[in-house]
Structure 1
Amino acid sequence: MSITKIIGKRLLFIDGAMGTFLQESGLKSGEIPESMNIRNPALITEIHKAYLEVGCDVITTNTFGANRIKLHGTGYEVEEIVAAAMLHAKVARESIKSSKKHYIALDMGPTGKLLEPFGDLSFEDAYQTYAEQAIAGEKYAADLVIIETMTDTYEMKAAILAVKENTRLPVFTTFSFDDKGKLLTGGDIACAIALLEGLGVDALGINCSLGPKKMKKFLQEITALSSLPVIFMPNAGMPIIQDKKTVFEASPEDFAADMLDVALGGAQILGGCCGTTPAHLKKTIELCKEVAPKPVTAKSITVVSSYSKTCVIGEKPVIIGERINPTGKKRLKDALLKGDYDYVVEQGIEQMEAGAHILDVNVGMPGIDESKAMVRSLQDLQMSLTLPLQIDSADAEVIAKSLRIYNGKALINSVNGKEENMKKIFPLVKKYGGVVVALTLDEEGIPETAQGRLDIARRIIAKAAEYGVDKKNIIVDALTMTVGASPDAAKVTLDTLVLIKKELGVKTVLGVSNVSFGLPQRDVINATFFAEALCHGLDAGIINPGSDAMMNTYYSHNALNGFDYLCAEYGNYIENLTEHVAVTTTVEKQTTLFAAIKGGLAQKSYDLTVAELMSSEPQQVVANILVPALDEVGKGFENKTLFLPQLIKSAEAAQNAFAAIKEKLSLTGEVRDPKGKILLATVKGDIHDIGKNIVKVMLENYGYEVVDLGRNVECELIVATAKEQNIKLIGLSALMTTTVPAMENIIKLVKASEMPCKIMVGGAVITAEYAKQINADYYADDAMGSVSIAEKVFV
């Protein structure tokens, strides 16, 4: 029986940590845990047996890092490791005499790399990496796949597609959030759930990073949003040093008590991560044995997302910015023809700042490859802003390619009532997830009556169900026609809105400005029609958010209809409207360069810096514009209003600005002296260097010279390099608990050498308390924290 048939009938228990056992059994710092499948099969089998004997339903194979990226250079092959791991799990299962069925999950973890455009690993390379592992898992008879400890929604998407497109195995997925409920790349719980449900996984949840006491604060939000079974697999608390050993703070009794709360709170699948042992799971299973799982309830939430922000359609009116569409826009047409995607991003930023919640992206025009232009536009927009995007194309192939690379759950524009069109679009919606705009037209054209449009909408929703697309993922476009050609056009559209809401109970959308086509003073007609549509049940309007008339209507409507508590948004909007003041040309230039860096506009940052240098000294540009811009981005990152992609993109823009300054200085023979030299390294045995690379970029932008030794670096090499280059600050990174001892060893060697050198440490498993216990001088919780530490050291 498939494990998906059992979920909900009783609580399911997944095993706990593997690495904790391996460390205790002699796994040395620097050795990959997966090698033990070959070198010590009996140990792996015994670990699996120990979890099965205490009552676990699912054991996870020792394949967390068994992918081609992490195995590169080790001498091991992916299939070799997976085959051995599956064999040991089967031997353990066969040794247990029980009538209860036990399941073997192929364990898949992150590659340790950031995907493009944030990093250097392409989406398709990540996909192929996971596909190879998943295919091997199915070949050697895994019962399911668990994709765990993910901190990037994009990598998770690649892994899910790889499993679903290449195997028939059930897919369980868990993200690893920080204590604020954020992923490395900025996503939150709502974003994660929107993506995972859209991609059709079998269960979702949270694991690692935190102990159950801190992690369970997220359970209520997860269960409130998820229509799928919930997985909960915390660490045994956080790591601490005891008797010179790394241990985890939660006892089996404390762990189990918290997990009982989790079971009662609605999680259907329980397990453990770092530091958990059979004793932790034994106590949990005993304490929860009388608990019946809460039923999984379907949620009727219509939601789209980016990698870091969700937009619920139907809670209050939503604005979809219409400006990224070349129709009637010569400047945008020229930009697309020239490949000037900075201009596309500028249009997106302007609409976001004007109040848009979602951005429509349409790049269809003669003379360009629409698929390539759409993919590039989506990627650049997602690097620079956080809003969900609407993929707008009449070409199903363009939509397919766009949905595959989109990071989040997109709004798709559109499907219509033509049979051929529905055959092309609905399979894409089902496969990739998304909310699709349903146009009320078919082979006969656009009905002239509200009833005719309602009939088409009903038929589209029925057909969607045949493809497994829930009606919560459909928003109906009643179609706006110009009143200049048909006097009854607006009334028919408004009547259609009312019927759709009453008869079908789905969300609605309109391209509002079509109503005034061919008429003078279009904003007057548009704003009035927008107000009427909102009052007739419009949930989302595709409008120009740069239009004062339209936005006046929007904020006024919300204030008058209970969507704006105490008129707070209306008050802020009016205040901003009246703050436009004249500024000097110089200030405009500075503000523009500042905005270009903040917005991550690389080429524009270079061009504007060159212009600034015609009237300002390089030091003035750095001190008055570049550093303040980086500081503002850094503060946004620290306050969780900006996220990793924006941090990286702004850093790249700043690098371009500094390149222009360097060119100017070279003409006069001047040199920009570094503020200090810093050594960075990921410790021996750890091949994850995402965090370290981000720290490097930020430190360099703030004027520090960085000596980057890379990842998996020997302790002695770090110390020797620090001595040789007279390093004053060392930054050490570790992601895996198995490699943390190497960090402590380096600190001991540096301290023993009596070098005048400070050490800062960071990484997913490192805490401020742990840093103190291993005698590090500083703890950096993120890239900007590293900058602050450097500024203290190099005063």
Structure 2
Amino acid sequence: MADFRSALASGRILVLDGGMGTMLQARGLPAGEHPEQFCLDRPDVLRGIHADYLAAGADIILTCTFGGSRLKLPAGIEPVPFNREMARIARSAAEAAGRPVFVAGDMGPCGRFVRPLGDLHPLELYEALREQARGLAEGGVDLFLVETQFDLAEVRIAVAAIRAESDLPVMVSMTFEQGTSLTGTTPEIFAETMQNLGVDALGLNCGLGPEEMAPLMERFLACSSVPVLAEPNAGLPELVDGKTVFRLPPEPFAEKTAAFVGMGARLVGGCCGTTPDHIRALRRAVDAVERRAAPCVTPSGLVLTTRTRLVRISPSQPFTIIGERINPTGKKDLQAELQAGEYGLALRFASEQVALGAPILDVNVGAPMVDETLLLPGLVERLTGKYAEPLSLDSSNAEAIAAALPFCPGSALVNSISGEADRMERLGPLCRQWGAPFILLPIQGRKLPVKAADRIAIIESLLEKADALGIPRRLVLVDVLALAVASKPEAAREGLETIRWCVAQGLPATIGLSNISFGLPARELVNTTFLSMAMGAGLSCCIANPSSGRLREARAAGNVLLGHDRDAAAFVDGYAAWQPGSGGAAEAGAFAR
């Protein structure tokens, strides 16, 4: 069996097959009959379609399992045996091709939205897609293609479900119209979320013809560090006599689609309306086109996402504050509400921080007599239904983190992974599976490390564990550890040295800011002074209370001085009417810029 990852690494341009539905109809699928049942009854027809695409020059054929999950299959068809059989039919056609070709396990959208956007529990979708992935893997696919997706939450769950069943390569493809998916996701948000998940290739399919797809391809190629794929329709759909038709003939389709290879795309194929004739013409056009290497995109820092938001955390980006208010420590009213299973005060804290422009919200429900495995996902579901800001899941309970991650529609932050026994082994693979960046906390044992050298040694040890578990560095945000200077006078200097080390290693750094001033008067003054020093050393973000006017002032001024606020536009907009002692109230609206 050929190795798909090796083929990608070789730089080959790979051609996918074309449409399946119209081919089945042309070969006898009766109107109104489920294609899944037809394919089970007539495997010879399906095998013939696969063979025709391979004869046309396709390198990758897709299993006829677009609607192969329990959520879409007709009654009486069990998902695991069905997907296994469809994979075996495609596998037999591939083995008869006489050349190295690949079978991709095709997984389409379920047609429903997960909670809180819809009524589908994310774990119900997850289990349904695990079944489908299991059947495809048992049938002998070489890779998976999660395609024609319109909701970021679903494609993320699909990749996580595949990861639970198989280590085979995964490609993902989303459908876009007017620059975004149906639920508002841009190519950049989709690409960054999928790269956090560690997919092997990503791109777009369906919805558009090759001409309309070209601007989106430029955006994908500018932000993806993995191979990019494109599967356009045979032109835009038209309704003729009550039927949808696609009019773009094979030769112009091939010419326009092969142009993507000239832009740097590595995988091209056809979607709705395309036939073996389109793929044959595309094969010729691809072989003749002057190939161009994809733009070199180097990952920088760490990225958090939701369906409609993207937050970059890096020394080269504007400084970010993670709002810390949703935390019951020291808040008796919030503790009481959480103990009663209520979320009103937590949602109010979220609303206040969002109004102040906090781009990320830390979420902690840890309190006595609180079941975090129920409360954390419950609060996350409510927050993601109301706010677009990414969340930081803050808990020492690994089971609570595992329960909450499926409710996050994009790349949430996990707070945190320390050197505590088995913490990396338990949470690290979970973060890899769900594409969740995490805070790396340099604590090992009961003694807090004061010296930078001791902190760095723990960080290096944890990074080695992460590497051994296959967890990419792009998911790591280092907490450099704030210790109270009232008891450890050298703590601030050692923290700054740790920040500089992180920057030299290409690792973004954060800190729990308020700890630095514990036990001192005028804590806000100490906090913001240290924040300015830490920003100068390269600190990327901090966990703090965004209602602090001094904090907002220090951040805004620091972004200007470090060149992160182009032409000081945000600073001028927020502080044109500033007066000494104003507390930065005028700047609240510009906080997130």
Q: Would the TM-score normalized by the shorter structure come out above 0.5? A: yes
Superposition map of 1:193-592 within 5 A: 193-242=191-240, 245-290=243-288, 291-292=290-291, 294=293, 299-301=298-300, 302-314=302-314, 315-418=317-420, 420-443=422-445, 445-502=447-504, 504-574=505-575
- In the other structure, the counterpart of 2:6 is 5
Q: Secondary structure at the match of 1:6?
A: helix
Deviations 1:615-650 (A, max 9, x none): xxxxxxxxxxxxxxxxxxxxxxxxxxxxxxxxxxxx
Q: Secondary structure at the match of 2:72?
A: helix
Q: What is the CA–CA distance in structure 1 between the aligned matches of 2:381 and 2:577, rounded to whole Å?
A: 30
In 2 relative to 1, CA 62–431 (structure 1 residues): closer, same or farther, beyond 3 Å?
closer
Shift of 1:208: 0.9
Q: What is the CA–CA distance in structure 2 between the aligned matches of 1:362 and 1:79, rounded to whole Å?
A: 39
In 2 relative to 1, CA 465–522 (structure 1 residues): closer, same or farther, beyond 3 Å?
same
- In the other structure, the counterpart of 1:768 is none
Q: 1:268–1:293: 8 Å Cα contact kept in structure 2?
A: no
- More relative contact order in 1 or in 2 (CA 8 Å, sep 6+)? 2
Deviations 1:96-135 (A, max 9, x none): 4x3x122222222111111122212212211222222222
What amino acid is the match of 1:411? L
- In the other structure, the counterpart of 1:145 is 144
Q: 2:261–2:292: 8 Å Cα contact kept in structure 1?
A: yes
Q: Secondary structure at the match of 1:441?
A: coil
Q: 2:263–2:294: 8 Å Cα contact kept in structure 1?
A: no
Q: 1:37–1:81: 8 Å Cα contact kept in structure 2?
A: no
Superposition map of 1:41-190 within 5 A: 41-73=43-75, 75-79=76-80, 81-93=82-94, 95-96=96-97, 98=98, 100-180=99-179, 182-190=180-188
Deviations 1:396-434 (A, max 9, x none): 332333334432212221122445433333223323222
What amino acid is the match of 2:199? V
**Greater Cα shift, 555-564 or 84-93:** 84-93
What amino acid is the match of 2:450? E
Q: What is the CA–CA distance in structure 2 between the aligned matches of 1:371 and 1:468, rounded to whole Å?
A: 26
Superposition map of 1:672-751 within 5 A: none
Higher helix proportion, which one?
Answer: 1
Q: What is the CA–CA distance in structure 2 between the aligned matches of 1:94 and 1:280, rounded to whole Å?
A: 23
In 2 relative to 1, CA 402–25 (structure 1 residues): closer, same or farther, beyond 3 Å?
same
- Unpaired stretches in structure 2, ≥5 consecutive residues: 580-593
Sequence identity percentage:
35
Q: Supply the RMSD in Å over aligned alpha carbons.
A: 2.4
**Greater Cα shift, 328-337 or 292-301:** 292-301
Runs of 4+ residues deviating >6 angstroms: 575-578
In 2 relative to 1, CA 3–533 (structure 1 residues): closer, same or farther, beyond 3 Å?
same
Q: 1:228–1:296: 8 Å Cα contact kept in structure 2?
A: no
In 2 relative to 1, CA 465–298 (structure 1 residues): closer, same or farther, beyond 3 Å?
farther
Q: 1:37–1:84: 8 Å Cα contact kept in structure 2?
A: no
Q: Secondary structure at the match of 2:277?
A: helix
Q: Secondary structure at the match of 1:281?
A: helix
Shift of 1:162: 2.4
Q: 2:232–2:270: 8 Å Cα contact kept in structure 1?
A: yes
Shift of 1:298: 6.7
Q: 1:8–1:294: 8 Å Cα contact kept in structure 2?
A: no
What amino acid is the match of 2:61? I
Higher gyration radius (CA): 1
Q: What is the CA–CA distance in structure 2 between the aligned matches of 1:29 and 1:426, rounded to whole Å?
A: 49
Q: What is the CA–CA distance in structure 1 between the aligned matches of 2:461 and 2:551, rounded to whole Å?
A: 33
In 2 relative to 1, CA 80–365 (structure 1 residues): closer, same or farther, beyond 3 Å?
closer
Shift of 1:322: 0.8
In 2 relative to 1, CA 276–358 (structure 1 residues): closer, same or farther, beyond 3 Å?
same
Equivalent residue pairs, number: 573
Shift of 1:274: 0.7
Q: What is the CA–CA distance in structure 2 between the aligned matches of 1:293 and 1:105, rounded to whole Å?
A: 25
Deviations 1:425-461 (A, max 9, x none): 3223323222221223322622222232233223322
Q: Secondary structure at the match of 2:71?
A: helix
Q: 2:309–2:388: 8 Å Cα contact kept in structure 1?
A: yes
**Greater Cα shift, 75-84 or 519-528:** 75-84
Deviations 1:719-770 (A, max 9, x none): xxxxxxxxxxxxxxxxxxxxxxxxxxxxxxxxxxxxxxxxxxxxxxxxxxxx
Q: What is the CA–CA distance in structure 2 between the aligned matches of 1:492 and 1:90, rounded to whole Å?
A: 59
Q: 1:194–1:408: 8 Å Cα contact kept in structure 2?
A: no
In 2 relative to 1, CA 252–533 (structure 1 residues): closer, same or farther, beyond 3 Å?
same
What amino acid is the match of 2:353? Q
Q: 1:36–1:44: 8 Å Cα contact kept in structure 2?
A: no
Shift of 1:14: 1.0
Q: Secondary structure at the match of 2:511?
A: strand
- Unpaired stretches in structure 1, ≥5 consecutive residues: 579-795
Shift of 1:17: 0.4
What amino acid is the match of 1:3? F
Deviations 1:507-529 (A, max 9, x none): 11011111222333322222222
In 2 relative to 1, CA 167–487 (structure 1 residues): closer, same or farther, beyond 3 Å?
closer
Shift of 1:90: 4.2
Q: 1:508–1:540: 8 Å Cα contact kept in structure 2?
A: yes
What amino acid is the match of 2:447? G
Shift of 1:487: 3.0
Q: Secondary structure at the match of 2:400?
A: helix
Shift of 1:174: 1.2
Shift of 1:505: 2.7
Shift of 1:95: 4.8
Deviations 1:27-71 (A, max 9, x none): 455332223213444432332222111100111122211222222
In 2 relative to 1, CA 156–276 (structure 1 residues): closer, same or farther, beyond 3 Å?
same
Q: 2:328–2:366: 8 Å Cα contact kept in structure 1?
A: yes
Q: What is the CA–CA distance in structure 2 between the aligned matches of 1:384 and 1:307, rounded to whole Å?
A: 12
Q: What is the CA–CA distance in structure 1 between the aligned matches of 2:21 and 2:576, rounded to whole Å?
A: 56
In 2 relative to 1, CA 88–38 (structure 1 residues): closer, same or farther, beyond 3 Å?
same
Q: What is the CA–CA distance in structure 1 between the aligned matches of 2:157 and 2:492, rounded to whole Å?
A: 44
Q: What is the CA–CA distance in structure 1 between the aligned matches of 2:203 and 2:463, rounded to whole Å?
A: 30
Q: Secondary structure at the match of 1:69?
A: coil
In 2 relative to 1, CA 424–576 (structure 1 residues): closer, same or farther, beyond 3 Å?
farther
Deviations 1:124-147 (A, max 9, x none): 211222222222222332332222
- In the other structure, the counterpart of 1:763 is none
Q: 1:309–1:386: 8 Å Cα contact kept in structure 2?
A: yes
Q: What is the CA–CA distance in structure 1 between the aligned matches of 2:348 and 2:577, rounded to whole Å?
A: 20
Q: 1:345–1:384: 8 Å Cα contact kept in structure 2?
A: no
Q: 1:313–1:539: 8 Å Cα contact kept in structure 2?
A: yes
Shift of 1:297: 5.6
TM-score, structure 1 length as denominator?
Answer: 0.68
